[in-house]
Amino acid sequence: MDMNQRREYWRANLRLMTVLLIIWALVSYGAGILFADALNAVSFMGVPLGFWFAQQGAILVFLILIAIYVWRMDALDKKFGVEEYEEEVHHS
Amino acid sequence: MSDIQLWTLVFVGLSFTLYIYIAYRSRVSDTAGFYVAGGGIPAPANGAAIAADWMSAASFISMAGLIALSYNGYSGSAYLMGWTGGYVLLAMLLAPYLRKFGKYTIPDFVGDRYNETARLIAVICAIVVSLTYVVGQMAGVGVVFGRFLGVNTTVGVIIGMTIVFLYAVLGGMKGITWTQVAQYSVLICAYLIPAFAISNKMTGIPVPQVGFTQIMAELEALQAELGFGSYTSALTGTDQLNMFLLTASLMFGTAGLPHVIVRFYTAKSVRAARYSALWALFFIALLYTTAPTVAAFAKVNILEDFNNTAMDSLPSWVTTWTDVGLITGPDGGTPADLNGDGLLNFTGAAAQTANEVLINNDILVLASPEIGGLPAPIVGLVAAGGVAAALSTASGLLLVISASVANDVYHKRINPQASEKRQLLVARISMAGAIVVAGYLGINPPGFAGEVVALAFGLACASFFPTLVLGIFWKKCTAAGAATGMAAGLAVTLAYMFWTVEIWGNGDGILDIAATGFGVIGMVVNLVITIIVSQFTTKPSETVQQLIEDVRYPGATALVAAHASGELDAEPLHEDDPPTR
């Protein structure tokens, strides 16, 4: 990668991260805590929604967020030709 | 010997045999193998090892009890979200870059990125955080052995220490990692099988995550009838603020705990480090989405069946747990019939009048198969799971302590010329020493053990997390900035925690902020101070800035490879005008 490609790779990485971390904060601090009371008015599978987010939903969303990150970063690595499917980074 | 004791012995014995066999198979003979398993662990195995490392006696034994009993449902969610949300931060902000950096410990990164002062602060933090944490694990082993095998706590702790000694001293990180994979399998079976069985029995739906939604209405009705607060209502005001801070402290603390971060060094590549985080959270989520269901099922069982049983026909598990002092009466003795109606009342009125019985958080998971009326082999399996959870976390923590002493202090500061063999010997001796200290503290736990774990998270959150993240994402973050920031974050957090301890009588703190959630405020202090001081102090050398630049991209890069192989060590890493590469 030359300097321009590096800059482009890093920007794409930061953009992806920002989007995912905003969702991360909205689901846990938002749905699970700050807006939990309001969401509790809605029933989801017989359980108040805010409560469900705090005990189940947030964890499931965290898992999906990391899955998206891993998948998108694989694509980004491939686009810039730095994927490491077989070779290993040498360890000291 | 009762059926339960027999089955416990069978499962604990089988699992111990497996651990020792793995220890024998994965002996190591070099420092890279001892500290980071040669960096050759595939992602799913690494994920399982991280999960076992992470899920301690607190997650396995105590968490469901915390949710059901001391936090009364919803507010216990701080632990569920806090102890999983940190992995999102780890996966995106730390894991890939630290793996690319490719050394052995957190102080390694801090020292090479910043300077020796910062390395020293990091070594002290790593050792303090890990030691405080490991004490609780050893105590957890003692509880399980005491209850299920009837041996006393001291003997239980010594048995646990011996097993850890065998595989950790012999196999280092390699032995620990593969043992943790086995320990994860044991503990997740031990957690899920009873949960599925109870869910199926109570709701007819075997998947507890679905089943528990069926009993929530019933639980709410029981809670209201017996005078407990609502199980699902959200918090408001100060309580909401404290839950917010606690959740944040646990999340950022998770992403700053040295024994978790170091596991990403063991991955095969940068890509494998990212996948390790994904696998880890997957394995953790299996237990963490089940824990609140175990809590809800057990609470229904306790309120419906246990409450109002006749005093003379209490179930047998009540007697056995009373014997080890984890079910007590109003005055700390045995459950007593205060109102003389011949029935044992368990109500939400505890705040006004003494309750007739008190149930310790720690027994909920261990007793839930008995409470739910499941057969003896399952009870034995749960006991083996509790031991696996405690031992796997203990061994990961012990490795951090041993690596800090042998690599960061002995090799980096005292004797840089030490041969590979010599370093390995020092690492093994410090591991053995750490096991003895941890065992001693497990048998004689300091009285403030509960606060100590919160302290570990607070410290990790206020010290490591901001320093590591700024070190990667901000090239111009200076050594002086990082060192002052870390010191300030630590000092503020420690000061607040001591200030609110009961002896000084400031229990309410400032604005009613609980000490357990203060770590995240310490983190903000650290961030702000690091950024301000960095504006006025010497910028990092060109070499360091180039190194950080290289760390951001996967694949082989010359500077990182040279640094990882130790070639750069001889050069003045932190001075300007180094040879340009």
Domains of chain B, with CATH numbers?
3-301+375-540 (1.20.1730.10), 302-358 (no CATH)
As a whole number of angstroms, the distance between CA B409 and CA B533 comes to: 27
pLDDT confidence of A62, banded at 50, 70, 90? Answer: very high
Backbone angles phi, psi at B42, to 5 degrees: -65, 150
Confirm whether A14 is domain-assigned.
no
Question: What pTM was estimated for this model as a whole?
Answer: 0.88
Q: What is the DSSP letter of B575?
A: S
Q: Which stretches within B302-419 are classed as H helix?
A: 316-323, 363-371, 376-403
B47 closest CA partner among A70, A16, A84: A70
As a whole number of angstroms, the distance between CA B567 and CA B127 comes to: 28
Check if the beta carbon of residue B183 is closer than 8 Å to that of residue B199.
no
- Measured over the CA atoms of residue B442, residue B448, residue B451 and residue B455, the dihedral's sign is negative
Helices B153-203, B43-54: axis angle to 10 degrees equals 110
As a whole number of angstroms, the distance between CA B50 and CA B45 comes to: 9
Nearest 5°: the CA angle B117, B254, B434 is 65
Q: What element of type H or E holds B219? A: helix B208-225
With an 8 Å Cβ cutoff, is A3 touching chain B? no
Nearest chain B residue to A58 by CA: give it: B81
For β-strands B358-359 and B327-328, DSSP reports them as antiparallel
Contact B555 A92 (CB under 8 A): no
pLDDT given at position B449: 52
Backbone angles phi, psi at B79, to 5 degrees: -70, -40
- Measured over the CA atoms of residue B297, residue B302, residue B308 and residue B314, the dihedral's sign is positive
Q: Is B181 helix (H, G, I), strand (E, B) or coil?
A: helix
SS3 readout for A38-78? HHCCCEECCEEHHHHHHHHHHHHHHHHHHHHHHHHHHHHHH
Q: How many CB pairs under 8 A join A and B?
A: 163
Q: List residues bridging with B344 in a β-sheet.
A: B309
Check if the beta carbon of residue B297 is closer than 8 Å to that of residue B369.
no
Q: Is B200 helix (H, G, I), strand (E, B) or coil?
A: helix
Confirm whether A75 is domain-assigned.
yes
As a whole number of angstroms, the distance between CA B139 and CA B450 comes to: 11
Please tell me the distance in Å from A76's CA to the nearest CA on chain B. Answer: 11
As a whole number of angstroms, the distance between CA B433 and CA B402 comes to: 9
Confirm whether A44 is domain-assigned.
yes
DSSP symbols for B273-325: HHHHHHHHHHHHHHHHHHHHHHHHHHHHHIIIIITTEEGGG--HHHHHHHHTT
B284 closest CA partner among B383, B184, B382: B184
Q: What element of type H or E holds B451? A: helix B449-473
Confirm whether A70 is domain-assigned.
yes
As a whole number of angstroms, the distance between CA B406 and CA B388 comes to: 27
Terminal C-alpha separation, chain A = 24
Name chain B contacts of A89, Cβ cutoff 8 Å: 99-100, 102, 268-270, 554-556
Q: Is B38 helix (H, G, I), strand (E, B) or coil?
A: helix
Tokens of residue B356, six digits = 């007739």
**Measured between CB atoms, which of B100, B209, B552 is closest to A89?**
B100
Q: Is B47 helix (H, G, I), strand (E, B) or coil?
A: helix
Check if the beta carbon of residue B348 is closer than 8 Å to that of residue B310.
no
How many structural domains is chain A composed of? 1
With an 8 Å Cβ cutoff, is B37 touching chain A? no
pLDDT per residue as tens, chain B (581 positions): 677 788 888 888 888 888 888 878 877 777 777 777 776 778 888 889 888 888 887 788 888 888 888 777 888 888 899 999 999 999 999 988 988 887 778 888 888 888 888 888 888 888 888 887 887 777 777 777 777 777 777 888 888 888 888 877 777 788 888 888 888 988 898 889 888 888 888 888 888 888 888 888 788 778 777 777 788 777 777 788 888 888 999 999 999 888 888 888 888 888 888 998 999 999 999 999 999 998 888 888 888 777 777 777 777 778 777 877 778 777 666 777 777 677 777 776 554 455 677 777 777 888 888 877 778 888 888 888 888 888 888 888 888 888 888 777 777 777 777 787 888 888 888 888 888 888 888 777 665 555 567 678 888 899 889 999 999 999 888 888 999 999 899 888 888 877 776 555 665 666 667 777 888 999 999 999 999 998 988 888 888 888 888 888 887 676 777 776 666 654 556 665 444 43
B164 closest CA partner among B344, B404, B434: B434
- Measured over the CA atoms of residue B573, residue B100, residue A7 and residue A11, the dihedral's sign is negative
Check if the beta carbon of residue A73 is closer than 8 Å to that of residue A65.
no
HSE (CB half, 13 Å, CA atoms) of B348? Answer: 18
Contact B84 A62 (CB under 8 A): yes
Q: What element of type H or E holds B328? A: strand B327-328
pLDDT given at position A16: 93
Confirm whether A8 is domain-assigned.
no
Backbone angles phi, psi at B359, to 5 degrees: -110, 125
Nearest chain A residue to B85 by CA: give it: A62
Place of tokens 């003895």: B436
Give CA separation, B392 vs B14, B167, B348, B379, B383, in Å.
16, 11, 37, 20, 14
Confirm whether A7 is domain-assigned.
no
* Residue range(s) defining the domain that contains residue A49: 20-79
Confirm whether A53 is domain-assigned.
yes
pLDDT given at position A81: 81
Nearest 5°: the CA angle B453, B52, B325 is 50
Name chain B contacts of A15, Cβ cutoff 8 Å: none
**Measured between CB atoms, which of B39, B232, B270 is closest to A48?**
B232
Name chain B contacts of A33, Cβ cutoff 8 Å: 234-235, 240, 243-244, 247
Q: How many CB atoms lie within 10 A of CB A90?
A: 13
Q: Is B192 helix (H, G, I), strand (E, B) or coil?
A: helix
CB within 8 Å of chain B, chain A residues 26-55: 28-29, 32-34, 36-37, 40, 45-48, 50-52, 54-55
Q: List residues bridging with A48 in a β-sheet.
A: A43
Cα B371–chain centre separation: 27
Tokens of residue B287, six digits = 């237990």
Task: Check whether A92 has a pLDDT greater than 50.
Answer: no
Confirm whether A90 is domain-assigned.
no
